[in-house]
């Protein structure tokens, strides 16, 4: 923070402290308001919002156990959840600090204080409040954009079991690892878990671990203090601090280089972060969700992913099935996307033609739900009538010699294709024959040949 910015409310029953702080902090904050007793705290917050509240922990003389401070802290969080609270105490009481952080305070300053440290702490709290407000605004914009795009669970056995599991674990603070191919909805599931948790009113902060360069890793995740490196012009909170109180979603965790994995592990274990350039660990209260499209147990076995980190993030493990393994959900999903895109592009398209539906059902969707979504979007743009036709779907031609599941010979491929078509059409052989472009008789012969 350079120059003056933001507003701060200081609550302390020592008048000379209030006078000194008003003078000092007036150089750094646009507005400084002081209160000599906490009794007017709630009404003050009701009439004016403050970015930061500096709150004394020990009000009544003689009772220095800080409980009164904890009480007023929770009152501030109730009345003004967006204000960041820094506590002021005469005692370096780490237990109390931990309690206060759990109740939503961001930091702690011990009296007698050092001016430059106090200013740095309050500015960091202000920056954190701005970051949180930005995340909140972004979340609201996204929510508006996605208002129709809530998670579709579908009817498959795999998704039903998954849903029951998620409903059980989402409200707890358990760490969850989501595995699944690209485009299966890992990001969407992480949002769903956050929305079902007690932290739903706080932020969900996402970090793409694959996109973090080595130099950015620490400052992005743990933050930095002014002057820590050339570009660090002001104190800045990292994603862990911004997510504190809410959920941190680490996407593509399997792409994190090996030597950075131990740094991540140590933060997850200690639940404290130390900003680059600082020596003071700051406690963080996060719920952690990780996602990957890679096979982490295999990476652990081959030595490219740390076993200790894997066990830390793998308390609850869920896997999103590929779309081709839940063919019954293809059409309902396509219909949802159709209504979204028809509205977005202002087109009166109301249905998907039977032949188009068959084409979608037969396609392997290696890009999963994302590929289906894009295919429907393109079809909506191309479509000239009121129903999407097979010709509106321009689907990529796959090299069928590279099929999943280790299929290699021509015969294996043929039998695998027939089995898949039979699953899709729930054993209706006339439909299978039509889809595969062969007669029913040829289909019977092949079923016999391959013992299907
Ligand atoms: N169950 C679902 N219901 C509705 N839309 C979904 C669902 N799952 C995924 N989508 C949509 O599909 C797209 C891809 O989903 P998402 O980004 O969550 O997948 P991902 O597994 O995180 O992908 P990647 O591994 O490539 O990051 C998004 O646009 C999302 O809105």
pLDDT, the chain, mean: 87
Check residue 398 and give its pLDDT. 57
Does the pLDDT of residue 358 top 60, yes or no?
Answer: yes
For residue 276, the 8-state DSSP code is B
What mean pLDDT do residues 233-252 have? 90
> Is ligand 1 within 6 A of the CB of residue 180?
yes
Q: Which two tokens stand for residue 115?
A: 């001016």
What mean pLDDT do residues 298-304 have? 92
> Is ligand 1 within 6 A of the CB of residue 254?
no
Check residue 402 and give its pLDDT. 44
> Is ligand 1 within 6 A of the CB of residue 185?
yes
CA angle 29, 32, 37 (to 5 degrees): 145
- Ligand 1 atom closest to Cα of 152? 3
Check residue 111 and give its pLDDT. 84
Q: Which two tokens stand for residue 250?
A: 């680490």
Query: What is the whole-number distance in angstroms between the Cα of residue 374 and the centre of ligand 1?
Result: 11
CA distance linking residue 13 with residue 26, whole number of Å: 19
Query: What is the whole-number distance in angstroms between the Cα of residue 182 and the centre of ligand 1?
Result: 8
Check residue 148 and give its pLDDT. 46
Query: What is the whole-number distance in angstroms between the Cα of residue 111 and the centre of ligand 1?
Result: 50
Are 180 and 321 in contact, with CB atoms under 8 Å apart? Answer: yes
CA-nearest of 275, 185, 146, 259 to 221 is: 275
CA distance linking residue 297 with residue 313, whole number of Å: 12
> Is ligand 1 within 6 A of the CB of residue 373?
yes
- Ligand 1 atom closest to Cα of 336? 4
What mean pLDDT do residues 19-42 have? 93
What mean pLDDT do residues 89-114 have? 79
Check residue 65 and give its pLDDT. 60
> Is ligand 1 within 6 A of the CB of residue 80?
no
Query: What is the whole-number distance in angstroms between the Cα of residue 343 and the centre of ligand 1?
Result: 20
Lowest mean pLDDT among 145-154, 252-261, 329-338, 422-431: 145-154
CA distance linking residue 242 with residue 221, whole number of Å: 9
How many Cα atoms within 13 Å fall on the side-chain side of residue 25? 29
Q: Quick: pLDDT tens for 34-57.
A: 999 888 899 999 889 899 999 988
Query: What is the whole-number distance in angstroms between the Cα of residue 306 and the centre of ligand 1?
Result: 27
CA distance linking residue 117 with residue 24, whole number of Å: 12
Question: Which segments of 346-424 does DSSP mark as H helices, in order?
Answer: 354-362, 368-382, 410-424
Domains of the chain (ranges; CATH) run: 7-137 (3.40.50.2300), 165-319 (3.40.50.300), 323-392 (1.10.8.60), 410-449 (1.10.10)
Q: What percent of the chain shows pLDDT beyond 70?
A: 92
> Is ligand 1 within 6 A of the CB of residue 292?
no
Q: Which two tokens stand for residue 25?
A: 């902090």
CA angle 230, 274, 248 (to 5 degrees): 105
Q: Quick: pLDDT tens for 176-220.
A: 999 999 999 999 999 999 999 999 988 899 999 988 887 789 889
Does the pLDDT of residue 405 top 50, yes or no?
Answer: no
Is the complex ipTM more than 0.95?
yes
Mutate to test the pocket of ligand 1, among 154, 183, 189 (most ligand atoms within 8 A of CB): 183
> Is ligand 1 within 6 A of the CB of residue 113?
no
Does the pLDDT of residue 312 top 70, yes or no?
Answer: yes
Res. 417 pLDDT band, cuts 50 70 90: confident
- pTM here? 0.65
Query: What is the whole-number distance in angstroms between the Cα of residue 112 and the centre of ligand 1?
Result: 52
Lowest mean pLDDT among 226-235, 301-310, 343-352: 226-235
């Amino acid at each position: 923070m350079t120059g003056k910015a933001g507003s701060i409310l200081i609550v302390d029953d020592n008048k000379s402290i209030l006078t000194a702080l008003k003078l000092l902090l007036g150089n750094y904050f646009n507005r400084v308001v002081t209160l000599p007793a906490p009794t007017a705290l709630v009404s003050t917050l009701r009439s004016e919002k403050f970015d930061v509240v500096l709150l004394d922990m020990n009000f009544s003389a003689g009772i220095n156990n800080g409980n009164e401070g904890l009480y007023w802290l929770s009152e501030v969080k109730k009345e003004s959840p967006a204000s960041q609270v820094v506590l002021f105490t005469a005692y370096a009481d780490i237990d109390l600090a931990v309690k206060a952080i759990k109740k939503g305070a961001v930091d702690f300053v011990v009296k007698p204080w050092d001016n430059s440290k106090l200013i740095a702490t309050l500015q960091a709290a202000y920056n954190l409040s701005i970051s949180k407000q930005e995340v909140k605004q972004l979340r609201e914009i996204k929510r508006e954009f996605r208002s129709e795009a809530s998670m579709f669970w579908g009817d498959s056995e795999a998704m039903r079991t998954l849903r029951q599991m998620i409903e059980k674990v989402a409200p707890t603070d358990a760490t969850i690892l989501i595995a699944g191919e690209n485009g299966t909805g890992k990001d969407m599931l992480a949002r769903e878990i956050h929305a079902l948790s007690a932290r739903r009113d706080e932020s969900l902060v996402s970090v793409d671990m694959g996109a973090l360069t080595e130099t950015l890793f620490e400052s992005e995740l743990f933050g930095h203090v002014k002057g820590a490196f050339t570009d660090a012009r002001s104190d800045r909170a990292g994603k862990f601090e911004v997510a504190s109180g809410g959920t941190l979603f680490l996407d593509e965790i399997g792409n994190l280089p090996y030597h950075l994995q131990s740094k991540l592990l140590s933060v997850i274990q200690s639940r404290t972060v130390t900003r680059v350039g600082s020596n003071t660990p700051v406690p963080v209260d996060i719920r952690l969700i990780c996602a990957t499209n890679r096979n982490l147990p295999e990476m652990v076995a081959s030595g490219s992913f740390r076993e200790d980190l894997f066990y830390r993030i793998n308390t609850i493990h869920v896997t999103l099935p590929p779309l081709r393994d839940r063919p019954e959900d293809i059409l309902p999903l396509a219909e949802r996307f159709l209504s979204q895109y028809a509205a977005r592009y202002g087109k009166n398209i109301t249905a998907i033609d039977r032949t188009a539906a068959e084409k979608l059902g037969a396609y392997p969707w290696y890009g999963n739900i994302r590929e289906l979504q894009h295919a429907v979007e393109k079809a909506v743009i191309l479509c000239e009538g009121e129903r999407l036709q097979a010709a509106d779907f321009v689907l990529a031609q796959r090299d069928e010699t590279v099929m999943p599941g280790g299929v290699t010979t021509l015969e294996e491929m043929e039998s695998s294709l027939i089995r898949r078509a039979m699953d899709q059409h729930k054993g209706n052989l006339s439909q299978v024959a039509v889809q595969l472009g062969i007669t029913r008789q040829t289909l019977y012969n092949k079923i016999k040949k391959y013992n299907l």
